[in-house]
Structures are given as C-alpha cells and as structure tokens.
Amino acid sequence: MKNQVQLITYVDRLGGQLDGADLARLKKLLCEPGQPLAGVFGGVHLLPFFHAIDGADAGFDPIDHRQVDPRLGGWDDIKALTEGLDVMADVIVNHMSSESPQFLDFAQKGEASAYAGLFLTLDAVFPNGATERDLLAVYRPRPGLPLTYATLQCGERRILWTTFTAAQIDIAVQHPQGRAYLASILQTFAANGIRMVRLDAVGYAIKKAGASCFMMPETFDFIAEFAAEAKALGIEVLVEIHAYYQRQIEIASQVDWVYDFALPPLVLHAFAFKTAAALKRWIAVRPPNALTVLDTHDGIGIIDIGADAGDRAGHPGLVPPEELDALVERIHAASQGQSRKATGAAASNLDLYQVNCSFFDAMGRDETAYLLARAIQFFLPGVPQVYYVGLLAGHNDMELLARTQVGRDINRHHYDATEIARDCERPVVRRLIELIRLRNRHPAFGGAFSVEASGADELHLRWQQGADWAALRVDFASLAHELSFSADGGATERFAFS
C-alpha cells in the first residue's frame, strides 16, 4: 500500500449516472489530466460495487459478490482503474443477501439444497438449545436478537442467524461451503487487479455458544487464516472493527491494517473541550499500521473512545463518560440538530455506537478548524483515507435521510458532475486538496514521526527525513496554529489554512 492519501467513495454517488459507465467516469475524474481530482489520490477504496448496489444496506448485502453491478460497469473497468491507483474492495465476510441465488435455492429445497451448509442457523451455534443467558451474552450492534424466524418455501421452519437485518443472512464461515464461497471472492478480486481488501463485519463472523460472538480468540484465528489466503494471492488485508480502544490495539498486532476509529471523536473532543490531553494519550499508544480516517460511509464512532462496555470501572475509556455524553450533544448542536434526527432511535438500520453526521457539519462548518482536523489526520503515522463527502466538505443530506429513513444516508449524498465541479472551487475544498498533495509529495512523511513537548492544550507533531521536515502546531484553547515545512534551498514554507 502506497504511503499516500486514499479516497473512500461509492462509485455511483460521485458523479454516477447508473448507465454502465460509472466506473469509467470515476477513472476519468481521478486520473485524467485536467479533471479536478486528477492525481490527487494514491488509491481508492471502492465501497460495494457488486450486484446489487441498492439492496437493504447500500451494497453491503450482495446478491452476487463476484459480479460488478452492470449499472456501474464491469471487471474490465475495475482492472483499468487499478492501472493508475491502488484499489481496495470489500469482502463482506459475515453475510450475503436473502435474494442471492444460493439462499433462494436453500429456501426452495431446505436441507436438500447444495447450499444448505452455507447459511448459519440457531441450531448450528446452539445444538443443545439456547438459554436466555446465552442469548443475552451475544454482543449486539443494533437492537434486538440476531435471529430471524423463517418458513422456507419447501415448508421447513428455521431460525436463521441475521446479525444486521433479516435481508442479510449470516454465512457459516467455518463450514466448507462458507470457506469456499469466501475464497472464490478473493480469487475473483486477485484476477482483476485488486490488491487490498477490507473485511467488513468480520468481528461478528464467528459464533460460539455461551460467548459474546464478537472478536473472540476464535475470531482472531479466523482472521489470521483468511488473511493468509489473501496474502498468498498478493492481497493486503484491512480489518474493520469498532471496539474498545485496547481491543483495537490488540487486533492491530495480528493483522496488516486496522482503522484508527478513535481519531474522529478524539479530534472533535479536542476542539470541543479545548484540550489535547486525550488525543495525545491516544497518539502515544495507537498502532502505527492504521488507516487514519475522520469520516467513512458509517457514522462517527463513540464506542472507540468510551469505557469497555463489559467493565466500565476496570477499563476506562480515553475520555470520561460525562465528556463523551457531552461530546455527542455538542455534535448535535454543531449540526443544528440534524445529526439527532439520524442517530439512535431516530432512524432505522442504525448502529447503537455511532453518531450519524457529515464531519464538516459535526465541526459546525468551521472551515479553518476542519482543515486543521485534516492536517492532524494527515500528520499521524499510517495511511490517510478521505471519504468523498468529507473531501467536498459536504453537508448533511436531510432530503435523502427523509426519503430513505436510514440514518447513515445523512452522510451518503449523491453528487452529480455539476456539484463536483462547483464544490472543487470552494476555498475549503481547494485548500484540502492542496493539503492532500502536500501529504503525498513531501519527503518528510517517509521519515521519522515525533510528538514534541507542549502544554495540555497544544499538539505539536513533526516528521523528519534527512534535511526534509514538516511540523504542525495547534493550540486548541486559542486556535492558534501553524503548518510549516522545508522547501528547496533550505527555505521554510507555511500552509495557509484560511
């Protein structure tokens, strides 16, 4: 993976028209000289582009994980994109669509189906039956039990394991059929030039009677085995987990890459409470093999800096509980109450541990503070990723939220070509693009990172490689700041945030 900023985007939501040419159109936008985003990014994470992209969970419930949705293009378009950029794709490890050919066959034939072993049922996890205590022990990201009662077309009655929605049927990943299915996805990706994958919802993939069924030792074993299969095909693996921060550190020691999901709420906390103390504590222990993010297709994580849900007293979070609660309220206030309408019980299909809001709106649309937040992200060790809405300093899409009633859609706007061209001319977006180019090109970011001594309200970060250096200073109390860096001939240059 190149040490350059990557873009996270849906293919159809960044200038897409669903006419079969969206992938080609995206390649033009990112690679063709004269386009507003040409040469800005070193890689791109393409959010689910599989058949079909408009299911129950915006493509995270694929009918056919090995087929490109023809409304976007085909595998030749993916391969063409990999010629100029590192491309990351999702392996949706935990589940597949209830509309998939495999599940439809199972629904029709039951145990006589060739795919009967592919789908996880209650009996498969609890062959001797489940007690109330067993079911309450299962970690839940959403309200309710992870189970769906179903009467199959053949007349069989089954209780299916459905971690997220009834339309997303969990895969029996340890069954030979489950293993073969997931292996076939990796093989398809490798054949088409994809060299990075994100394991979506992998923390829930292994189920065990009497346990939490989330990030257990057996889960780590499964991740290690799957990652070894990927590496044999020349593919790097990113593990996506929202969890207590110490668990994130443990996970990072066993995989290629993890997300730094603690960073977004900690940056917001630093600006809201005018202190760098919690952020500096995290920087001192955070794993270096992280993809740094401020925003993704999901919400802003809260669990990532809070106390361990299983033991609040013995395992405190990076910020006190009362400050975490206050931070959520400040996000709601900064967004003029819009995030409240998309978070918690206010909208369907929501994770319990996230606040849904565009990051720009979460910062009250303060352009200087927003660019400083991006500078902090880019200065931390790891590979930065910028979500397409964040790239364009996007606002909450209240119209889309009202139409779908899916909370995360508040931050999943559909941009047409006119909007992209217009927003790329906004000063805040132009300066962000300049900041990305600086992060990609300056040689200091390939050297040694250090945190310099400063007061509790200040953050001083530095990169040094030989005579090349770059330094960032932010005072959260006064909002005084400076980003300076070495230039040709020993001169010092400064980045203008406003």
Q: Catalytic residue among 22, 90, 170, 240, which?
A: 240
Instruction: Find out whether 461 is annotated in a ligand binding site.
Output: no
- At residue 472, the 3 state secondary structure works out as strand
Concatenating the DSSP letter of every residue in 243-270 gives --HHHHHHHHTTSSEEEETTHHHHHHHH
Q: Catalytic residue among 12, 90, 170, 200, which?
A: 200
Record the tokens describing residue 106, joined without a space.
């199972």
- At residue 189, the 3 state secondary structure works out as helix
Pairing mode of beta strands 147-151, 157-161: antiparallel
Pairing mode of beta strands 236-239, 300-301: unpaired
Instruction: Find out whether 351 is annotated in a ligand binding site.
Output: yes
Position of tokens 């023809």?
70
Instruction: Report d(CA 47, CA 395) in Å as an integer.
Output: 20
Helices (H), 292-424: 321-334, 359-362, 367-379, 388-391, 398-404, 417-423
Instruction: Report d(CA 374, CA 366) in Å as an integer.
Output: 12
Beta bridge partners of 198: 90, 238
Strands of 23-85, DSSP E: 43-46, 50-51, 64-68
Instruction: Find out whether 140 is annotated in a ligand binding site.
Output: no
> Nearest 5°: phi and psi at 251?
-60, -45
Beta bridge partners of 84: none
Instruction: Find out whether 57 is annotated in a ligand binding site.
Output: yes
Instruction: Report d(CA 327, CA 289) in Å as an integer.
Output: 27
Encode 251-262: b = buried (16+ Cβ within 10 Å), e = exposed.
bbeebbbbbbbb
Instruction: Find out whether 240 is annotated in a ligand binding site.
Output: yes
Instruction: Find out whether 332 is annotated in a ligand binding site.
Output: no
The region that residue 398 occupies, defined by phi over 0 for left and psi between -120 and 50 for alpha, beta otherwise, is alpha
Position of tokens 């993916």?
78
Among 433, 461, 437, residue whose Cα is nearest residue 448? 461
- At residue 119, the 3 state secondary structure works out as strand
Classify the C-alpha dihedral 29-34-36-41 as positive or negative. positive
Whether the Cβ atoms of residue 457 and residue 477 lie closer than 8 Å to each other? yes
Whether the Cβ atoms of residue 375 and residue 435 lie closer than 8 Å to each other? yes
Residue type, 431: R
User: Is 240 a known active-site residue?
Assistant: yes
What contacts 74, CB < 8 A, 6 or more positions away? Answer: 23, 68
Instruction: Find out whether 238 is annotated in a ligand binding site.
Output: no
Position of tokens 């930065």?
384
Position of tokens 């987990």?
241
Instruction: Find out whether 336 is annotated in a ligand binding site.
Output: no
Instruction: Find out whether 465 is annotated in a ligand binding site.
Output: no
| DSSP 8-state symbol, 29 | H
Instruction: Report d(CA 282, CA 269) in Å as an integer.
Output: 12
Residues that constitute the known binding site for substrate: 57, 95, 198-200, 240, 297-298, 351-354, 408
Active site residues: 200, 240
Residues that constitute the known binding site: 57, 95, 198-200, 240, 297-298, 351-354, 408
